[in-house]
Amino acid sequence: MKQISIGNVAIEQTAALAPMASVADYAYREMCARYGAAYTVSEMVSAKALCFGDKKSLTLLRRCSGRSPFSIQLFGDDPAFMAKAAKIILPYAPDMIDLNMGCPVPKVAGNGSGSALMKDPAKAAAITAAVAEAVPVPVTVKIRKGWDGQSVNAPSFARLMEQSGAAAIAVHGRTRQQMYRPPVDRDIIRQVKKSVSIPVIGNGGITDAASAEEMYRETGCDLVMVAQGSYGRPWIFSEIRSYLESGVIPVEPALDEKLDIMLEHISLAVADKGEHTAMMEARRVAGWYLKGMRGAAQFRFLCSSLTSYEDLKLLAAQVKAREKVSEEA
């Protein structure tokens, strides 16, 4: 498999896992790494919270196994705090540090962070320069197409981030105003690729191997990044690798295998967070694995009352048994 370099970090040219708040925790990243994610990124972490010693923020920094490089994403709007936070996270051994300049949610963008920084390129440049000067690892920046349809500035913004020390740019092909609504503008990613000399990572609307290949082909990007397309489908990364290498997409895991993968995922979360917290989150995560399955709605309903890992194991066994009876009928 071909590789690209982000600073001094070698990355396989397959697909990376995007940073996703309240989703891409240790267990989620570990599962995606096991299935071949080119690299994984933490949930976004508040720079100010780190600087003020917030212990909960520190729990977001755990590195998964050494299967692939690991990046920690910071958000904030103050260069000094961002640089200090970048130094604080170095003991957690990130291979890279990512700067969030694309998050569209009001509680982030409304405070001048995330995608709001695309309205203030000078401040964004100051943040990037401060962090790049503060740490010895490559600094990447994740951006959007622009704030809205009247202020599309991704190409010029990306050039400025490169000039400020960014080692790579990830571009989500939607504006902040769009949030996560279609369409994804792949042409803007192509324009960014033409505008900079550092690696460009295409993001947005990648839901399967075919859409990953289309992103590569239509934009010329150096890497693609998968977000919601990985929900309950950590094997999407092995599918993308296979398709890029051979043009063949592996057979989708059978139901029994999906259930086993789900149980493995939740067991990692239990070990990391404790059973109570992990099972509260499993009510949502478990349902992702059986999306599109016959009876999935009922399964999600039953997941909504999970309180223990044993409950989940029992529910999975019941689903397997029901499916076996259905196949034999």
So which residues are the catalytic ones?
Answer: 103
Contacts of 139 (CB under 8 A, 6+ apart): 86, 96, 97, 98, 99, 128, 131, 132, 165, 166, 167
CB 224 within 8 A of CB 216: yes
Q: Which residue has the tokens 């920690």?
A: 72
CA 20, 22, 25, 28 dihedral sign is: negative
CA dihedral 191, 173, 99, 238 (to 10 degrees): -100
DSSP string covering 70-128: EEEEEE-S-HHHHHHHHHHTGGG--SEEEEEE----HHHHTTT-GGGGGG-HHHHHHHH
Question: Helices 186-195 and 209-219, interaxial angle, to 10°?
Answer: 50
Residue 11, classed as helix, strand or coil, is: strand
CA distances from 130 to 7, 79, 85, 147, 165 (A): 17, 6, 11, 23, 9
CA distances from 274 to 17, 29, 218 (A): 24, 17, 44
CA distances from 188 to 12, 42, 160, 193 (A): 24, 25, 16, 9
Query: Is-cis flag, bond preceding 183, omega within 30?
Result: yes
Residue 254 class from Cβ within 10 Å (0-12 exposed, 13-18 middle, 19+ buried)? exposed
